[in-house]
Amino acid sequence: FFVNNGRVIGGSDAKPNTWKWQISLQLDLYNEGSFSHICGGSIVDSFYIMTAAHCIISQYRVMAGEYSLFEYEGSEQFTSVEKIIVHPDWNGDLANGNDIALLKLVNPIYDNGYVEITNLPYPDQTLPHGFTCYITGWGLMDYNGSVPDKLQVAPLAVVEHAVCSQPEWWGSIALKTMVCAGGDGVISGCQGDSGGPLNCLTDGVWRVHGVVSYGPAGVCNQKFKPTVFTRQQSQPINKKLHNLASNC
């Protein structure tokens, strides 16, 4: 029913050295020292990455300061993951929410001019219906396509919960701990974008208001089926993750 690893469909190449909190979560699928992009994520602290819980299947490496996946540019930072902190109420069912996790890094990410710690929303800060945010990631260019070389970016309009939870949209599986964006049938997330940020300019500051969680199975950019993000700032989620991280 769900696409587990969301991408940016209908997007364009991001400008180099923008969206500097975006990271590529990479996995050595065959234990050969060759890492492939699996999911996105956001730098929330020099030692912590925020991503989707459903992305957590094994030990990863984190690549920050990345722009072109297939070209070494000198801006990249590679680090391993020391500890995985999955939301305690995550049960593997995307419809039940809590699809969020923190990765504690072995080595801190340092400011080399190509990375940045993201700003997060205020507790329970919400976005109005139709507010334009931006999704970023290295997900598929179309459902049957390939992973893009360069980081992609695309605008998505926020869909308020009262609309997104209607039967012809996502219905009861659109929870208040989620934020929906898109659903125009043109632009969406898709495989490879999961865990990445919903970037919104609020109060003059770019903030990550959500973590890519799910979208429709099959063709990703379906009308009335917006990309769904976990609302990091919803109080139950924020409090539990903060407490877990504080105890590490």
Q: Do 7 and 53 belong to one domain? A: no
d(CA 155, CA 150): 17
The token duo for 245 is 């991280």
What pLDDT, on a 0 to 100 scale, did the predictor assign at position 247? 65
User: Token digits for 235?
Assistant: 């109080």
The C-alpha atoms of residue 228 and residue 22 are separated, in whole angstroms, by 18
Same domain, 175 and 132: yes
The tokens for 46 are 């020099």
Helix (H) / strand (E) element for 228: namely strand 227-230
DSSP letter for 92, please: S
pTM of the model: 0.90
Same domain for 89 and 7, yes or no, is no
Report whether pLDDT(49) > 50.
yes
75/131 same-domain check? no
Range name among 6-20, 31-45, 104-118 with the lowest pLDDT average: 6-20
Query: Which range of residues forms the domain containing residue 183?
Result: 2-13+118-233
Decide which of 59 and 188 is more confident: 188
Mark whether 41 and 57 lie in a shared domain.
yes
pLDDT tens digit sequence for 227-237? 999 998 765 56
Residues 186, 101: one domain? no
Indicate the number of domains in the chain.
2
Share of the chain above pLDDT 70, in %: 88
122 and 108 within one domain: no
Strand pairing class (77-86; 152-159): unpaired
pLDDT in tens, 84-138: 988 888 999 999 999 999 999 999 999 999 999 999 998 878 899 999 999 999 9
- 227 and 187 in a common domain: yes
The span from the CA of 7 to the CA of 227, in Å, is 10
Q: What is the CATH number of the domain that holds 127?
A: 2.40.10.10
Element (H, E) at 157: strand 152-159
**Same domain? 6 vs 35:** no
Which DSSP letter does residue 54 get? G
Residues 122 and 241 grouped into a single domain: no
What residues are annotated to the active site? 54, 99, 194
Higher pLDDT, 42 or 239: 42
